[in-house]
Amino acid sequence: MTATASTTPSPYRVTTGRVLRSEWHKLRSLRSTWITLLSAAALMLGVGLVMGTTYTSDGGDSDIDTVVLVLYGSLLGQLCVVVLGILVTAGEYSTGMIRASLTVVPRRLPVLLAKAAVFTAVAFTTMLATDLVTFLAAQLFLHDTDQAAGLTDPGVLRAIAGSAAGVTLLSLIALGLGCALRSVPGSIGAFIGGVLVLPEVLGMLPYDAVDNALTYFPTQAAGALGSSTPLPGAAAPGAALLALCLWAGASLAAAALVLRRRDA
């Protein structure tokens, strides 16, 4: 009697779909996920409503871009999503869950890519929905002012989507930092110091080359994406998006290098 090899795939075989599903289950089962996302949405909507209800046409702010004015709360909301991005990776190191993840998926890199893919989908969807609701809610109070605008106006939808993409990509940078540094406090400090504070310090230098380079730094590029009209001295939306993608890619590449070379 000869044995024949079974062609039925093993029910325990590691596949891309199963790794993605595993990361989705982990992300949605954490209370911190919903707390941070709801906090970001509440801050953005709250600030947007304050801007809409308190704005007056004779207040001297007519030169401010409408989308920037309404979505000013994104500056606060992004901090919540950045913290969530760090918790997705560094949080597993603090709890020891990363050992189980890397035991089940020993190749390591698929774990990082799955975390990044699931987080990107959740963060972008949440931010885009929040931006749309905030814009429409604020416009209920701005309809009779010089900041009245609609979704079909030139550049508005692009700026709303760009604002959501900017927050998501900034948070993806934070996710990579969390994986590379493996410490929640350390990653938050590195993000604040390297992404938020460093450009402000470099901006004090009296060199045109530095000013030109700063337009492609993460926070400055994200700001350019969230405006329906060109901002003075800012990068074009396409260039800003490319720069943010490169920053996020560099952060994930550094995280992948550390993940493959160091033990969990």
Q: How many domains are contained in the chain?
A: 1
Residue 2 lies in a domain: no
Question: Is this structure's pTM higher than 0.75?
Answer: yes
Residue 114 lies in a domain: yes
Residue 223 lies in a domain: yes
Residue 11 lies in a domain: no
Largest alpha-carbon pair distance within the chain? 93
Residue 107 lies in a domain: yes
Residue 98 lies in a domain: yes
Residue 4 lies in a domain: no
Domain that holds residue 182: 16-54+62-261
Please tell me the distance from the alpha carbon of residue 172 to that of residue 192, in angstroms, as a whole number.
14
Neighbours of 42 (CB within 10 A): 15
2-10, long-range: CB < 8 A, 24+ apart: none
Residue 97 lies in a domain: yes
- Tens of pLDDT along the chain (264 residues)? 444 444 545 566 778 888 888 889 989 988 889 999 999 999 999 999 999 998 887 766 677 889 999 999 998 999 999 999 999 999 888 888 888 877 777 778 888 999 999 999 999 999 999 999 999 999 999 888 888 899 999 999 999 999 999 999 999 999 999 999 999 999 999 999 999 999 999 989 888 888 889 999 999 999 999 998 888 888 899 999 999 999 999 999 999 999 888 765
